[in-house]
Amino acid sequence: MNEVVAGSGGIGVLDLQGGVQEHLDHLRRLGVAARPVKRARELAELAGLIIPGGESTCLSRLLAIFGLDQAIWQAYRDGLKLWGTCAGAILLARENVGEVPCLGLIDITVNRNAFGSQLDSFQCEALAPAVAREPIPLTFIRAPKIVRVGEGVRVVLSMGDYIAAAEDDRILVTVFHPELTPSLAFHRYFARKCGVNVACGDDAGVDPHWTPQSWMDFSYHV
C-alpha cells in the first residue's frame, strides 16, 4: 500500500462523512498515493482532493465547523484539483436549485435528489469517450442532476435530459459513484488531471478482483 511522503503530492479524500474508503481503495488500486483528509493542514502538498458522496447538508455543516471550506478555497486558489462525486458535486456547484450553494467553485447548476427517493437509485452503463473507450458502469444513489453548465465547463457525460459528469480545467464533477463499481476509469482520469502518475491498472481500467464487499476486507487496509 502506498503512503504519501511529504511533498510527493498524492490525492486526498475528504473524510468527514460518506463514501471515503471506497475512493481510497480505487486510488491505491491504481498505485496512486492516497490519504484521508479530516483537517485543513492535511490538504498540504496534495495534488488533488476528492469530495465523496454522502449527504450534502451534513457535509456542508461539517466543512464549516472544521474550517475546511475556507481551507479548500485557499488550496484551490493555490492549484489543488477537485473532484466531487454526487453530494461532492452538489457542494462544488455554483448554483443549487432552491438551495444555498456551498463551495460554489464550478459554474454548474445542480438539482438535488432529482431522481426521487433512495428507492429510485439505479445502475446502468454509458460511454464517456473522454474517459474510456469502453462503456463504464454507473451507480446513481439518490443523485442530483446537473441541469446547466456555464462557459468553460465541458460536458463529460450527457444522459437524456441531464448531465451526469462535467469538468472545467481544475474541477471534475460526477453525479454517480465510480468508486462503487469495479471500474477504475474515472479515478485514472482524475489522477491524470492532477498530474499524478498512475502506476498500474489494465487498459480497460477494471479491477478483476473487485467485489461489492471489497471495502470490508480489513486486511487490505492495514
Q: Which of residues 134-193 bind ligand GLN (CB under 6 A)?
A: 141-142
Q: Name the minimum Å distance from CB 177 to ligand GLN.
A: 6
Counts for the chain of helices (H) and strands (E), in that order: 6, 12
Part of the chain binding ligand GLN (CB under 6 A), chosen from 22-30, 39-47, 84-92, 203-211: 84-92
- 86 given a catalytic annotation: yes
Cα 96 to Cα 17, 54, 137, 159, distances in angstroms: 20, 16, 26, 19
The span from the CA of 106 to the CA of 220, in Å, is 35
Dihedral sign of CA atoms 176, 180, 181, 187 in order: positive
From the candidates 22, 42, 167, 177, which is the catalytic residue? 177
Secondary structure letter of residue 5 according to DSSP: P
- 177 given a catalytic annotation: yes
Of the pair 33, 171, the CB lying nearest ligand GLN is at 171
Q: Name the minimum Å distance from CB 14 to ligand GLN.
A: 12
Contact between 53 and ligand GLN by CB under 6 A: the answer reads yes
The span from the CA of 59 to the CA of 14, in Å, is 10
x/- string (CB under 6 A) for ligand GLN, residues 86-115? xx--x---------------------xx--
- 179 given a catalytic annotation: yes
Q: How many residues touch ligand GLN (CB under 6 A)?
A: 11
Size of the chain, expressed as the number of residues it contains: 222
* Nearest CA-CA partner of 173 in 60, 100, 116, 95: 95
Part of the chain binding ligand GLN (CB under 6 A), chosen from 52-60, 158-166, 186-194, 203-211: 52-60
From the candidates 22, 86, 102, 167, which is the catalytic residue? 86
C-alpha cell at 91: 457542494
The span from the CA of 37 to the CA of 46, in Å, is 10
| Binding stretches for ligand GLN (CB under 6 A) | 53-56, 86-87, 90, 112-113, 141-142
